[in-house]
Structure 1
Amino acid sequence: MRYLFIILFTFISVLSQAANLDPEMEKLIQQRIDERWQQLLESDEFKNKVREGILAFIDEQKPDEGNPANVRVVDPEKDHIKGDPKAPLTLVEYSDFECPFCKRFHETMVKVTDKYSQVNWVYRHFPLDMHNPGAQKQSEASECVAELGGNDKFWEFTDAIYERTRSNGHGFPLDQLAPLAKEIGVDGSAFQDCYDSGKYRQKVLDDTQNGMEAGVTGTPKTFLIHHESGAVVPINGAQPFETIDKMLTEMIEKLNL
């Protein structure tokens, strides 16, 4: 089913470019695809399959299995981590500030890290071409905020973007990035200098490249890492909190975390 939607989306994209499809019609078609895809993600059958697959994968891992997904090792010096940096479980999310599914999933991840001390959250950038330049520039802006205000301000800025954006490439005006940085307590002039310099463009591209190497093709894409065993489990799409919550509860109990 998943691949059917991917094929359909690709077909529509090509068709719109080749036939100059009316923007309103293209938007309507995309909305229908998004609605049907979300219905699939929220079905009980899909949720149970995701949870069962992840628990089975973790259970089967050996300590020397390594990192088969090629996800970059979590590094507190490079990564934005929410929660205890030494937590036994990490959720590494590759995300796009202008992705409507990422906006929804962001709420799930906030709840997860609020509830579980055994889990931390690493945010990595994966701005999709269809959402640029907005998504790319918002990612760069978040890195400027992190430089000037530290990790807590990065997360505060990220939460604010996801709360306020209307998504799909033009959801948050780029000329409001500096006022938002100032609003959360970052020096506005220093932010503007950093943002205008483009100094974090490559960092965002590096995150994206690593995501591609790990098999990311869309957002949000999350990898659950169990550090002791080295197991890395992919989680696709904007899973609802209830699905992640049940999975983590069972996993923490099974692994005695």
Structure 2
Amino acid sequence: MPSKQTTLPSRSQVLRMRAGRLPRLSWVVAGILVAGLLGWFLYRTPGAPAPRTVAEVAQAHPVGPPWRHGPADARFTLTLYADLECPFCKAYYPTLMAWIDAHPEASLRWHHLPLAMHDPEASRLARVAECAGEAQGHEAFFGAIAWLYQNTRGDGQGLPTDQAWPGLTTAMRACLESDRPAAIVRAQADEAMRSGINATPTVRLEDSLTGRSLLLHGPVEGDALLSALDLVASKETVVSMRP
């Protein structure tokens, strides 16, 4: 059986084939450029929605308190009842904040609940956070919370004697010398107690669409939080959930 031979094109044939493809390639490149310019024009058209920055999201929240972290239009709200001298809250807070940042359908709302066993330091630190928020807004409040948890000795011992909140401004000093922060902290603690919440950390999960809520006792991990979101979004009636 005769073998089939492959004949390589000559150099002149290769040049002619490349020349024939060039006009077609030029049209392809032109089409890509036009499509890119059209996409850029549509993106830049006035009125087109643009991604929001962290600062814009924070500004979307009404002036606090209550202080909030996360998208203002989030469907789910997690209210954290916490004590700034509570060691369990201290360990749980970074985990919960990271979870909120990873789930734009949820936002966090802070609720002061200084426990008697940790006072007067728990209430004093809560007043510092309140004044940071009053002076600079929502993210400053949560920045103060993070710093206080990182630096307090916990269990009612407070900050080391040689350490103070580094963001202490004239406005914050005036706030701390007033009765405003103490009244806010006391009112939130009283509200929690009236609701039967007397331990920290506790999280109340609320669904703005269904109107249902769920009380989560103790540090609740990420997978359990997702299950809790499913529960309040479902048609089932739920009351509380313990880890």
- Counterpart position of 1:216: 197
Match of 2:153 among 161, 166, 178: 166
Equivalent residue of 1:200, what SS? Answer: helix
Q: Tell whether the 8 Å contact from 1:91 to 1:122 is kept in structure 2 after alignment.
A: yes
Q: Tell whether the 8 Å contact from 2:84 to 2:148 is kept in structure 1 after alignment.
A: yes
- Structure 2: how far apart are the matches of 1:220 and 1:180? 26
Q: Tell whether the 8 Å contact from 1:220 to 1:236 is kept in structure 2 after alignment.
A: yes
Q: Tell whether the 8 Å contact from 1:134 to 1:174 is kept in structure 2 after alignment.
A: no
Equivalent residue of 1:87, what SS? Answer: coil
Q: How many residues matched?
A: 175
Equivalent residue of 1:142, what SS? Answer: helix
Q: 5+ residue gaps in structure 2?
A: 1-60, 236-243
Equivalent residue of 1:239, what SS? Answer: coil
- Counterpart position of 1:191: 172
CA shift, 1:111, in A, is 1.5
Q: Tell whether the 8 Å contact from 1:90 to 1:119 is kept in structure 2 after alignment.
A: yes
- Counterpart position of 2:143: 156
| CA-based RMSD | 2.5
Q: How does 1:1-257 map to 2 (within 5 A)?
A: 77-173=64-160, 176-177=163-164, 179-182=165-168, 187=169, 189-245=170-226, 247-248=228-229, 250=230
1:166/1:239 Cα in 2 relative to 1: closer, same or farther (>3 Å)?
A: farther
Q: 5+ residue gaps in structure 1?
A: 1-73
CA shift, 1:218, in A, is 0.7
- Structure 1: how far apart are the matches of 2:116 and 2:208? 32
Aligned structure 1 segments of 4 or more residues deviating by more than 6 angstroms: 252-255
Q: Tell whether the 8 Å contact from 2:80 to 2:109 is kept in structure 1 after alignment.
A: yes
Equivalent residue of 1:94, what SS? Answer: strand
- TM-score scaled to structure 1, two decimals? 0.62
Q: Tell whether the 8 Å contact from 2:206 to 2:232 is kept in structure 1 after alignment.
A: no
Equivalent residue of 1:143, what SS? Answer: helix
1:204/1:253 Cα in 2 relative to 1: closer, same or farther (>3 Å)?
A: closer
User: Is the radius of gyration larger for structure 1 or structure 2?
Assistant: 2
**194-203 or 122-131: which moved more?**
194-203
CA shift, 1:198, in A, is 3.6
- Counterpart position of 1:36: none
The answer to which structure, 1 or 2, has the higher relative contact order (CA under 8 A, 6+ apart) is: 1
Matched residue type, 1:78: P
- Counterpart position of 2:43: none
1:217/1:223 Cα in 2 relative to 1: closer, same or farther (>3 Å)?
A: same
Equivalent residue of 2:68, what SS? Answer: strand
Q: 1 or 2, which has the higher helix percentage?
A: 1
